[in-house]
Every structure is written in C-alpha cells, then in structure tokens.
Amino acid sequence: MNDSETDLIRRAQAHDAEAFCSLAELYTRRIYLLALHYCHDASDAEDLSQEVWLKAYQALQSFRFDSSFYTWLRRITINTFLNYQRSNFSRKSLVVSSEDEDTGSSLASEETIYNNVLFESVMNALGELTPSQRLIFLLRHYEGMSYDEIANAMNCSAGTAKKSVWRALGKLRNKLEINNEGTEDRLAQLATEY
C-alpha cells in the first residue's frame, strides 16, 4: 500500500466522501470485472459491484491496515458473491451479441464468428460450474490467489480449492473439446478474457 492510498483511506475513515470516491476509482473496474466473470450478466455485475462498494463504505472504519486495502476489499467482494449465491437471485439468461461495427457487410468475418462461438462455449462451460466452483476458479485464475489464500477466503481446505479448479478445468476441456491436459493456462486465459 502506498502513502497516497493510505492517506485516502485515513481521510475516508474520517468521513471524507471525496477521498472514498478517489479510493473507489482505483478498484472499481477490477471489482466490476470480477463480478461480471462471476455472474455473466452486466446488470447483475453492476448490482453486485455497487453492493460491494456500499458494504466497503459501511465497514471502512473496521479497516486496520493489517493487509492491503485490495485484500480487504476482495474479502468483502467474496462475501457479497457468496450471499448473492445463497439468495437465489433470479439469473438472467446470457445474451451473446456480435458487436460488428461494419454494417455495410452482411457477413461477419470468420474471426468474429469464431470468437462468438468460442465466447458462447466458454460462458456455457463456466455456467455449468456450481457458483462456488466458479468463484474459486476465478479467484485462482483471474485474481491469481494461491490455493491457501482461496481456502482462507472461502472457509474451505486448500484441497477443496484445488479440486474445484480441477473440476472447472475438466468441464472447460470437455465443453471446448480440448483433450490436452497441459492446457490449464490457456483455458484459464479464455475463461477470464471474456
């Protein structure tokens, strides 16, 4: 944590709304993208992100500088996602749309078609995971957390975290019809790119 961030936190804890907004600007996109990868719906991701920031604002006085601000914020994010999972929010169906800017052409390029099919396959494969498996997979491959960190954050064992990631990769391999077991990094990249 740098001095500037520490100063923003201290000012925000002293009820400086502008400081909190500046602090939020540092992590808003990262929290939103994690939420989007988790729930696959832009509207739900926006709602989850806003809930994370509301909870962070309400709990800011409890931040004790024992960890980085982002580690603390990520813990709030994980808890918010788990609460979302438990609440049985109505899930909206995934709508895949092509954003081909070239309206003069009636046919999309082969690359656009391939990317849309790949995107749909990856989203379907991630959608087949349980919400906990999906969250653990994202924490491992999107956030780069170790299995021990995931176990601590999710209140499970490191073995359970490893098993969830292994199952997620298996489902991705099957859905994407990839037989090579050495493709973990590429599958993780595909799953977190979209």
The helix-helix angle for 131-141 and 184-193 (nearest 10°) equals: 110
CATH number of the domain encompassing residue 7: 1.10.1740.10
Question: What gap in Å lies between CA 174 and CA 157, rounded to an integer?
Answer: 26
pLDDT in tens, 111-146: 666 666 666 677 677 777 788 888 888 888 888 889
> What integer pLDDT is reported at residue 180 of this predicted model?
58
pLDDT in tens, 22-45: 999 999 999 998 888 888 888 888
Task: State how far the alpha carbon of 90 is from the alpha carbons of 28, 33, 78, 83, 185, in Å.
Answer: 24, 20, 19, 13, 32
Token code pair at residue 159:
């073995």
Domain that holds residue 75: 3-86
> What integer pLDDT is reported at residue 27 of this predicted model?
94
Residues 36 and 80 in one domain: yes
Cβ proximity of 127 and 154 under 8 Å:
no
Domain boundary among 40, 70, 86: 86
pLDDT(7) > 90: yes
The residue behind tokens 């090579």 is 180
pLDDT in tens, 45-90: 899 999 999 999 999 999 999 888 999 999 899 888 888 776 643 3
CATH number of the domain encompassing residue 127: 1.10.10.10
Question: What gap in Å lies between CA 177 and CA 174, rounded to an integer?
Answer: 5
Q: What is the mean pLDDT of residues 143-171?
A: 88
Which stretches of the chain are DSSP H helices? Answer: 3-13, 17-39, 42-59, 69-86, 110-127, 131-141, 147-154, 158-176, 184-193
